[in-house]
């Protein structure tokens, strides 16, 4: 299992952008499609503490938010630090 999980849906352009950025930055991730599975939707609600929008990114079990939060972490250099810590 990857350290990064992306909760997404099929018709979400922000989800597509997040996955493309993670691929570009060579960060492996697991995708959980909440539009295809009720159990995944329940997991999404629990892990993200009731988030209502996708994408939602979780790193090492900690929700960090969506597209904007991911890009802010990257721009601030904090994403690299998160990915290097074990």
Burial 53-74 (b: 16+ CB within 10 A, else e): ebbbbbbeeebbbbbeebeebb
- C-beta separation of 6 from 27 below 8 A: no
- C-beta separation of 7 from 58 below 8 A: yes
* pLDDT tens by residue, 47-71: 999 899 999 999 999 999 999 999 9
Q: Which domains does the chain have, with CATH numbers?
A: 4-84 (3.40.30.10)
This prediction has a pTM of 0.92
* pLDDT tens by residue, 30-53: 999 999 999 999 999 999 998 999
């Amino acid at each position: 299992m990857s350290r990064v999980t992306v909760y997404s849906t099929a018709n979400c352009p922000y989800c597509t952008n997040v996955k493309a950025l993670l691929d570009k930055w060579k960060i492996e991730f697991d995708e959980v499609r909440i539009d295809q599975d009720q159990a995944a939707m329940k997991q999404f609600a629990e892990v993200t503490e009731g988030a209502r929008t996708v994408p939602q990114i979780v790193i090492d079990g900690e929700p960090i938010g969506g597209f904007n939060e991911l890009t802010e972490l990257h721009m601030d250099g904090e994403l690299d630090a998160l990915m290097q810590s074990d």
